[in-house]
Chains A and B, each alone.
Chain A
Amino acid sequence: MRSIEQTTQEILQLAAQQFKLPAGSLAPGDDFYKKLGIDSLQALEMLSRLENHFKIELPDYEVQGVSDFRTLAERIQARL
């Protein structure tokens, strides 16, 4: 099973890829709305990709109010 660090790194890589940012430009503490310049709908699209990647289902309420990669990683990790 992945460690939380691995999960976090994979999320950062996928997000950078999806929103066309240089690899390594995102950090766990970053606010993804701000850093990626995305709105709530694009955030949902990102979640869909993460769900496919990690092969999990993340109910919408689990990610309400989450805006940084670290907390997102914790929520995903709990479902792996």
Chain B
Amino acid sequence: MLDLRNYSSIGEALRDALETWPTDVCLIESDRGEEKLRLTYHEFREAALPLAKAMQDFGIAPGDRVSIIMTNQSKWLISAYAIFFCGATLVPLDYKLKPEEQWQLLKHSGAKMLITEYGIWRQLGVSPGRANAANLITVLATEAPENADLAGALRWEEARGAQPPVFVPRTRRDVACIVYSSGTGGVPKGCMMTHENYLEQCMSLTAVYPFWPGVRYLSILPTNHAIDFMVGFFGPFTCGAAVVHLRTLRPEYVREAFPKYEITYVSLVPLVLKNLQKGLQARFDELPASRRRAFEALRNINRTLTRDHPRLWLSRKLLGQVHAAFGGKLEAIIVGGAFTEPQTLQFFYDLGIPVANGYGLTEAGTAVTVNDLKPFRADTVGKPLPGMEVEIRNPDADGIGEVTVRSKTVMAGYLNEPDLTAETIVDGWLRTGDMGRFDSSGHLQLFGRRKNMIVTEEGKNVYAEDVEQAFEGLRVKEFCVFAANFIWPQRSMRNEKLILVIHLEPGQAFTDELRAEIAARNSRLINYKRLHGLVLYPDDFPLTASLKIKRNELAQRLGALDREQSILPI
């Protein structure tokens, strides 16, 4: 791989990568089982440079912000390289957000240009939110049909400058990306990630999980997410490896991709991993009794022989059929975005498929700890990566305290939020809000959160404040949304739920009509943001001088109530 210590920006490293492995394949794109595109590093460069020139002709200057809202595909990565080549700052946004939420973030980020897919633009271009984001001047839409109404956008395919673009160098401290780590209802949290953050993170991760020319990474997690940006773009590209994109994430095409492209690594969220486990278990259960006994015997042998560290060649021999279904070249499944159940991790490890679980957050530049498999420990989130200092602050009698991180991978701060930044990064240490402790062998164990948010199994961060918008104007005296575990701390990362706390007007009864209204509003929320229950609170909420709810104090008062008895179903 490139020696990233010698580079000062993502653009500079990628520029060298494209010249180092000109004939190696860097991208494969498939749609519904059919391969649509295959690019070498040289071809990738040829596709990106005319776009970079067009962007410079559009007036994109160093430090300008350019957003990408796209599904995982080749044009995402080509556009991102063009942005870095121009010295601009990338704002990757989640294509799954609603159009109004995307406009809110486009405005907040101050993006001058947007690169998106026609299918997304068709909804985004007509959304009323567009009127507020006057900062956005140019929109490039990919793959628009011939007679399409572009609603003011230009065709990405036609944005090609004839002359060579001028490479714009950046320093390590310059902001490379603004990554939104949360929803949009409350304060949008735009993490300002520097070039150094990415260069350092890439070195740390590849020290434990290396990439090399010939590696094929299956990119399924959205590329706007910190994990896929690192292991599905920057990491493999700086090592001469290849990324495989699927335009359709239907399970049957994902399954087919493993053997077809002989995938080396894939990243999944815990929900998908669990689903995979269920599917495999169902197939094992269907085996005739004698074959099942034979299979279980082989699995036990594999478990014993890989106790200290993985032996992939041996596992592939012992459990050939299982490995063949995954293509026979899989080195590890990377799982992230949320907490994974130890028994799911163990299930795969026993089959000889290591799962690289870890712990991280966008603010720390993706991964902080990762399981190094020496030996595999399903009950922990692994050890700190090289270059990460991790400390447990204010530990209780059991050694459990807040996980804090100091590293060159920690973000520069939240965009336009100096107070929030000062609360989050104190004396150079990132306060994660997650509770944990180290065991005697230096592995981190997590024990819940002390912040008012939940993380779903799909890896979605949901901040309680963001959900309140959906209940605005509710006919009660006051209300507030909390993560149940924030009120009643649990020593667990599982079963995280949101609840609505309401305080009725004096003399007001909790009627079926009110309950129905809450239920109706709740069902309009996207599924992972939905409330689990409600709490009727009899007293006035504690308020600040400016009449904002003192959430911490209210949570403390609610904590005196019995959890099980207080939460009513919606």
Chain A interfacial positions (CB closer than 8 Å to B): 31, 33-34, 39-41, 44-45, 47-48, 57, 59-62, 64-65, 67
Contacts and interface: CB of A to CB of B under 8 A. Distances in A.
B440 interface: no
B478 interface: no
Contact of B117 (A40, A45, A61): A61
Contact of B119 (A39, A61, A67): A61
A25 to B, nearest CB: 17
Given A39-B271, A61-B95, A64-B95, A44 B117 contact: no
B458 interface: yes
Given A48-B250, A65-B526, A57 B32 contact: yes
B272 A41 contact: yes
Contact of B271 (A40, A45, A47): A40
A62 B250 CA distance: 13
Nearest to B98: A65
B96 A44 contact: no
Contacts of B271: 39-41
B154 to A, nearest CB: 20
Given A39-B271, A64-B95, A34 B120 contact: no
A39 to B, nearest CB: 6
Contacts of A62: 119
B340 to A, nearest CB: 15
Contacts of A33: 527
Secondary structure of the B contact surface, majority rule: loop
A59 B523 contact: no
Given A33-B527, A41-B272, A65-B526, A60 B71 contact: yes
Contacts of B275: 39, 41
A8 B445 CA distance: 48
B251 A64 contact: no
A60 B248 contact: yes
A34 B119 CA distance: 27
Given A31-B527, A48-B252, A64-B95, 9 more contacts: A39-B275, A39-B458, A40-B458, A41-B272, A44-B251, A59-B119, A60-B71, A61-B117, A62-B119
B122 to A, nearest CB: 9
Contacts of A60: 71, 247-249
Contacts, number: 46
A76 to B, nearest CB: 15
Contacts of A41: 251, 271-272, 275
Given A39-B271, A65-B98, A45 B527 contact: no
Contacts of A59: 119, 247-248
Nearest to A40: B458
A67 B117 contact: no
A67 B526 CA distance: 8
Interface residues on B, range: 20 to 34
B539 to A, nearest CB: 32
Contacts of B252: 48
B119 to A, nearest CB: 5
Given A40-B271, A59-B119, A65 B249 contact: no
B11 to A, nearest CB: 28
A41 to B, nearest CB: 5
Interface string B431-468: 00000000000000000000000000110000000000
27 contacts: A31-B523, A31-B527, A33-B527, A34-B523, A39-B457, A39-B458, A40-B458, A40-B527, A41-B251, A41-B271, A44-B250, A44-B251, A45-B250, A45-B251, A48-B251, A48-B252, A59-B247, A59-B248, A60-B71, A60-B248, A60-B249, A61-B71, A61-B95, A61-B120, A64-B95, A64-B96, A65-B98
Nearest to A58: B248
Contacts of B248: 59-60
A20 B120 CA distance: 34
A33 B523 CA distance: 10
* 5 pairs of A and B residues whose beta carbons are closest in the complex: A33-B527, A61-B119, A48-B250, A41-B275, A64-B96
B250 A34 contact: no
Contacts of A39: 271, 275, 457-458
A33 B458 CA distance: 14
Interface string B126-146: 000000000000000000000
A59 B120 CA distance: 11
B250 A65 contact: no
A70 B20 CA distance: 52
A65 B523 CA distance: 12
Nearest to B527: A33
A72 to B, nearest CB: 14
A49 B117 CA distance: 25
Contacts of A44: 249-251
A45 B32 CA distance: 14
Contacts of B458: 39-40
Contacts of B526: 65, 67
A45 B527 CA distance: 17
A67 B247 CA distance: 21
A40 B98 CA distance: 16
Most buried by B among A39, A44, A61: A61
A44 B251 CA distance: 7
Contacts of B523: 31, 34
A40 B526 CA distance: 11
B256 to A, nearest CB: 12
Contacts of B71: 60-61
Nearest to A42: B275
A14 B414 CA distance: 47
Contacts of A48: 250-252
